[in-house]
Amino acid sequence: MSHLFEHHGAPGQGYSQPAPVMKAADIPLPTALLRKDLPRWPRLSEPEMVRHYTWLSRRNFGIDTGFYPLGSCTMKHNPRVNEVIAQLPGIADIHPHQPEHHLQGLLSIYHEMQYMLEVCAGMDQVTLQPVAGAQGEFTAVRCIQEYFRLRGETQRTKVIVPDSAHGTNPASAAMCGFEIVEIPSRVDGRIDLDALRAVADDTIAVMMITNPNTLGLFEKDILEASSIVHSVGGQMYYDGANFNAILGITSPGLMGFDAVHFNLHKTFSQPHGGGGPGSGPIGVKAHLAEFLPGPLVEKRTPVGDESKHAIDGAWYGWYEPEHSIGKVQQWHGNAGAIIRCWAYYRRYGSGLRTMSEHAVLNANYLRHAIHKATKKAGVDHMVVDGAEAVVAKHEFTLSLGPAKEAFGISAMDVAKGLLDMGYMAPTVYFPLVVPECMMIEPTETESLDTLDTFATHFAEVLQVDAETLHAAPITTPVRRVDEVYAARNLCLRHPFDE
């Protein structure tokens, strides 16, 4: 693969800069900080530069180039109008240090967003500060830890997570210093209440769980689970990554949770993937609100001069909660992501319920379509459902265990075969409780035609012989990589000839 630094280009430089106003000698910089050599900038003309980046972008795969059924990650279409709104100068050009009376418009948006998320989650207070779901988890668990510390309940050193949990749940709890207690799922993929009762005592601080769970199944016993944890004085934490299944239909508040995070980049509208950028606000019940990281936005009656800048008679101001755990992010969270999601919510309003209904419908339709297509192709014995469930929510799991056993075709092989068909592969090997797991989430933004075609292609991949599939992908810019080697031997900078 050719690299910018490998272009030697024409002598001279491909850019021009205005002459410096001051001479280097006039600037009192410590000599230790001055460059000894010229920077190794590649010498490229503008067209070479444009071609390089366009070429790179064409080697990429994204939701804008094809179907992206990556389970758990909710990769949906991001309406472009939200980009336009997030880039309006009144929003994009403000500085976080501007005084409140300059920021009334932005603050009113933040306030509305806090309120909207409170309503969706059935919580009393939201902070928009965390910039990822995982950071939201950490923040909320820290708030709960502080709540117990102030109550003198320091014997609560454990956090319960089901074995189907997303890896960030135990990781966030461990980062706060908690011990992880894992409880098994039942054969139908749901939490085992007896196992929960067996570990529930006054050393439990929190139970972290997502609902629908990572198998795409609704935890029907969630109220019972909440009451078991509450009966020993513990708190319930809702991993909100699966909000796309329940928005406007039910809420973590109704299910007995005390704290939740949103992944705005999954549920609402924010291009993501490759690690960012995201937004992971958290919502809590009133008893946890004083621990949230600030600043939060409040709406109140303007006082004195404030009324000159007030919007519809209201004043919006920052405030710090009394026992705040401190900031978890600079400034006020990932403003661009928050604005895009606010624009999305303003566009759909109560229609967000329909969004969730369509997400669930699409997932169930695709699940049936895959079964129908594999049956028609005579390969349905190679796939089984990941749990014995009949009704999935916004995502579902398949097990390629039978294909592995009979033909040596793994979930990874099928995933790589799908890349050659022009798709992003579904999530594989998660959740861990399903052997050779493939987790599929089509989202509400895909058409019937896309779903049908994908199901047909899925059955086609299963008909490819094992040897060919082991060699897949053959059409992508990079062939099959050794992922373990790549993860253990990170190489993040260009190896210049020193």
Ligand X SMILES: *Cc1c(COP(=O)(O)O)cnc(C)c1O
Q: Measuring CA to CA, how many Å separate 469 from each of 417, 422, 441, 466?
A: 6, 15, 23, 5
- Expressed in percent and rounded to 5, the helix, strand and coil fractions of the chain are 40, 10, 45
Residue in 128, 141, 241, 360 binding ligand X, rule: CB under 6 A: 241
Q: How far apart are CA 53 and CA 3, in angstroms?
A: 10
> Would you give the binding string for ligand X spanning residues 83-122, x where CB under 6 A is met?
----------------------------------------
Looking at the Cβ atoms of 136 and 302, the one nearer to ligand X is 136
Burial of 182 (0-12, 13-18, 19+ CB in 10 A): middle
- Site for ligand X, residues 32 to 91, rule: CB under 6 A: 72-73
Q: Which two tokens stand for residue 367?
A: 């699940």
Residue in 239, 258, 441, 446 binding ligand X, rule: CB under 6 A: 239
Looking at the Cβ atoms of 82 and 210, the one nearer to ligand X is 210
In the chain the first and final C-alpha atoms are separated, in Å, by 20
Using CB under 6 A, count the residues that bind ligand X. 14
- Shortest separation between residue 133's beta carbon and ligand X, angstroms: 2
- Residue 72: DSSP 8-state: T
Looking at the Cβ atoms of 134 and 451, the one nearer to ligand X is 134
Looking at the Cβ atoms of 133 and 386, the one nearer to ligand X is 133
Looking at the Cβ atoms of 270 and 374, the one nearer to ligand X is 270
- Site for ligand X, residues 382 to 401, rule: CB under 6 A: none
- Note whether 214 binds ligand X by CB under 6 A: yes
> Would you give the binding string for ligand X spanning residues 157-176, x where CB under 6 A is met?
---------x-x--------
CA-nearest of 430, 431, 436 to 405 is 436
- Shortest separation between residue 132's beta carbon and ligand X, angstroms: 4
Looking at the Cβ atoms of 238 and 342, the one nearer to ligand X is 238
- Note whether 426 binds ligand X by CB under 6 A: no
CA-nearest of 214, 216, 219, 217 to 255 is 219
Q: How far apart are CA 138 and CA 396, in angstroms?
A: 27
Which of helix, strand or coil describes residue 193?
helix
Looking at the Cβ atoms of 235 and 427, the one nearer to ligand X is 427
- Note whether 212 binds ligand X by CB under 6 A: no
> Would you give the binding string for ligand X spanning residues 246-265, x where CB under 6 A is met?
-----------------x--
Q: How far apart are CA 214 and CA 2, in angstroms?
A: 40
Collect all residues with Cβ–Cβ distance below 8 Å to 48 and sequence separation of at least 6: 7, 9, 14
H-state helical runs in 284-379: 335-348, 352-376
- Residue 70: DSSP 8-state: B
- Shortest separation between residue 243's beta carbon and ligand X, angstroms: 10
Looking at the Cβ atoms of 125 and 214, the one nearer to ligand X is 214
- Catalog residues that contact ligand X under the rule CB under 6 A: 72-73, 132-134, 166, 168, 210, 214, 239, 241, 263, 278, 280
